[in-house]
Amino acid sequence: MLMKRVKEVVAFARASVGEVTRGSAAYYRWLAFLGVLLALGGLAWVHQLREGMAVTAMTDQVPWGAYIANFSFTVGLASGALVLVALSYLRRDKALGELVIVGQVMAIASLTMGMLFVVVDIGRPERAWHLIPMIGRFNFPISMLSWDVVVLNGYLLLNFYLATYTLLARFRGRPLNGKKYFPVLAGAIVWAISIHVVAAFLYCGLSGRSHWHAAVLAPRVVASAFGSGPAMLILVLNVLRSRMKVPVRDETLALLRNIVTGAVWANLFLFGAEVFTEFYGGSLHAAPLRYLLFGLHGHAKLVPYAWLAVALNLFSAAVFSIGALHRRHRVLIAACCATIVGMWIEKGMGHVIPGFIPSSLGEIVEYSPSLNETLVCAGVWAAGALLLTLMLKVAVPIEFGGLRMRGGSAEASP
């Protein structure tokens, strides 16, 4: 029994290696591009490890920068990716069910990025073992960061299990065992919300930071995740349809589009509510939002980005709401990109940096990432994209191409 399992896994691994090493020139160019970015990012990280965090642009006044901004966003992507899974589960739709693997794979890639962003952010990554309960000293359940560690790792495990279980079953030509699959799937769907709520609670639990200390933060963050995640899925599914001949139905894309529409409007509504609350009363707590949108005492580094995000979100809201616009393929793609970039600014730097400006002692110290930080970020994004590409390269032939195990070795069937 055990030997059989080992053989299956070996066959699966060999088939995977076969798949990822086979591809068009464009595929190899894409891999090479990601490889170069990854190498640059890796070198920049080594530089940071040797020289210390001094090579970043962070300060004691702004102790979190591009890394944590990207972390927040990628966690959103990870939970948004599960929308597809939730839809197929709720609608018992077979065609949707086949695409579930794409959502899971995207969740895994996004989560890996999120975790890498934390790894590159901490000053002493080699001490990560201090987080292990009992052996280290895990401050659970007091620290919200400890909750984050739990939910992120749990979510990664759930998705890893679901993806590998599905792929292995298909690879072996066996049907999915519902008892081993659906409870975990249901868990993952609930868990998807929790990872983003906890990521929001990281911020709104801080009573000393007025900008974050708001109940609207969690719903806003979830809304943006349900915008950027499905928008990214639409892009990925389009690439799969055109490049890998994956049968993606228009109804599926329409479903995702509707979710993005709702999420984008919800996010804009919550943003408006926040703007009103902060500015109408005119309390001093509005300073961070004022810094973000209008600048404070002549400091306005984030202002153009903040308005760019507002413009992009308005643009995507318009496109997603007006049929004449989103029926055009190119406009839809542009709107998806606008959603992703808009949310990335808004839930990334636009969310993290103003929390520190002005500082708790009223100082205005601005922040923009250093070159080294930017390279590390690019490297992490490249790692995520690479992981996503490779996983899809294996998953798609198994799910749609009929790649099956045969007598211990694997080959693609026509």
Partner 1 sequence: MAPSARITACALLAALAGACGDKPRAMRPAPDAGSVTVLARAAQIATYPCMERCHARRAPDPTPRAMREFHTGRVLNHGPTIRACSFCHDSADLDHLRLITGEHVSFDEAYRVCGQCHAEKLRDWDRGIHGAQSGSWAGERLRRSCPACHDPHTPQRPMFDPLPPPAHDRAHPPGASHS
Partner 2 sequence: MSCNEDPELAAALERAQVTRRNFLATATVAAAAVATGCGNHGAVWEEYFQQHYKRLTDDDKRAIFARLEDEVRRRRGLRVHISDPAPMRGVEYGYALNLSACVGCRRCEYACAAENNTSRDPEVHYIKVLQMESGSIDVERSDSRYEGPVPAPGHFYMPVQCHQCRDAPCVKACPVGATWTEPDGITVVDYNWCIGCRYCEAACPYFARRFNFSEADIRPSEINPDQGYLSNRARPAGVVEKCTFCLHRVRRGEYPACLEACPTGARKFGNLLDPESEVRQVIDHKRVYVLHEEAGTAPRFYYFFD
Q: Shortest distance, CB of residue 384 to partner 1, whole angstroms?
A: 30
Q: List the one residue out of 102, 252, 88, 99 whose CA is nearest residue 182.
A: 88
172 binds, among partner 2, partner 1, none (CB under 5 to 8 A by kind): none
Question: Omega of the bond prior to 219 within 30 degrees of 0, cis?
Answer: no
- Does the footprint of partner 2 cover residue 154 (CB under 8 A)? no
298 binds, among partner 1, partner 2, none (CB under 5 to 8 A by kind): partner 1
Stretch that binds partner 1, among 86-94, 133-141, 167-175, 243-251 (CB under 8 A): 133-141
Q: Which range in 89-97, 104-112, 199-207, 367-375 contacts partner 2 by CB under 8 A?
A: 199-207
Report the b/e string of 47-68 with b at 16+ CB within 10 A: ebeeeebebbbbeebbebbbbb
The full DSSP string for 376-403 is HHHHHHHHHHHHHHHHHHHHHHHHHS-E
Is residue 56 within the footprint of partner 2 (CB under 8 A)? Answer: yes
Q: Which stretch binds partner 2 (CB under 8 A): 96-104, 116-124, 310-318, 382-390?
A: 116-124
**Structural contact between residues 352 and 286, judged by C-beta atoms closer than 8 angstroms:** no
DSSP per residue over 218-258, as a string?
HHHHHHHHHHHHHHHHHHHHHHHHHHS-----HHHHHHHHH
Q: Which of residues 277-316 bind partner 2 (CB under 8 A)?
A: 284, 287
- DSSP for residue 294: T
CA Rg value for the chain: 22
Encoding tokens for residue 360? 């708790």
108 versus 292: smaller Cβ distance to partner 2: 292
Q: Which residues pair with 410 in a beta bridge?
A: 405
Q: Kindly state the smallest distance separating residue 348's Cβ from partner 1, in Å.
A: 22
**Contact pattern for partner 1 over residues 346 through 385, marking x by CB under 8 A:** -----------------xxx--------------------
Contact 227, 264 (CB under 8 A): yes
Helix (H) or strand (E) holding 18: helix 2-20
Q: Which stretch binds partner 2 (CB under 8 A): 88-96, 99-107, 133-141, 391-399?
A: 133-141
Q: Which is nearer to partner 2, 85 or 357 (CB)?
A: 357
Planar angle of CA 40, 41, 42, nearest 5 degrees: 90
Residue ranges in 392-411 that form contacts with partner 2 under rule CB under 8 A: none
Task: Tell me if the bond preceding 141 is cis, omega within 30° of 0.
Answer: yes
Asked if residue 51 binds partner 2 (CB under 8 A), the reply is yes
Sort 8 into a burial class: Cβ within 10 Å, 0-12 / 13-18 / 19+: middle
Find the binder of partner 2 among 24, 25, 26, 60 (CB under 8 A): 60
Q: Among 21, 143, 321, 413, which residue sits at the site for partner 2 (rule: CB under 8 A)?
A: 143
Q: How many other C-beta atoms are found inside a 10 Å radius of the C-beta of residue 408? A: 11
Structure tokens given for 338: 């606008």
Indicate the residue among 176 and 364 with the shorter CB distance to partner 1: 364
Query: Cβ neighbours of residue 162 under 8 Å, at least 6 residues apart?
Result: 104, 181, 184, 185, 188
Answer yes or no whether residue 140 interacts with partner 1 by CB under 8 A.
yes
Q: How far is the CB of 61 from partner 1 (least distance, A)?
A: 5
The answer to whether 284 contacts partner 1 (rule: CB under 8 A) is no
DSSP line for 125-138? GGGGGGGSTTTS--
Q: How far is the CB of 130 from partner 1 (least distance, A)?
A: 9
| Near partner 1 by CB under 8 A: residue from 298, 304, 323, 414 | 298
Task: Give yes or no for residue 368 binding partner 2 (CB under 8 A).
Answer: no
Q: Which residues contact 387 (CB under 8 A, 6 or more apart)?
A: 108, 109, 112
CB nearer to partner 1: give 59 or 368. Answer: 59
Q: Between 178-204 and 144-171, two packed helices, what is the crossing angle to 10 degrees?
A: 150
Of 145 and 390, the one with the shorter C-beta distance to partner 2 is: 145
Of the candidate residues 60, 174, 208, 329, the single one contacting partner 1 (CB under 8 A): 60
Binding site for partner 1 (CB under 8 A): 54, 59-61, 133-134, 136-142, 297-299, 363-365
Residues that bind partner 2 (CB under 8 A): 51-54, 56, 58, 60-61, 63-64, 118, 121-128, 130-131, 136-139, 142-146, 149, 202, 206-209, 284, 287, 355-356, 358-363
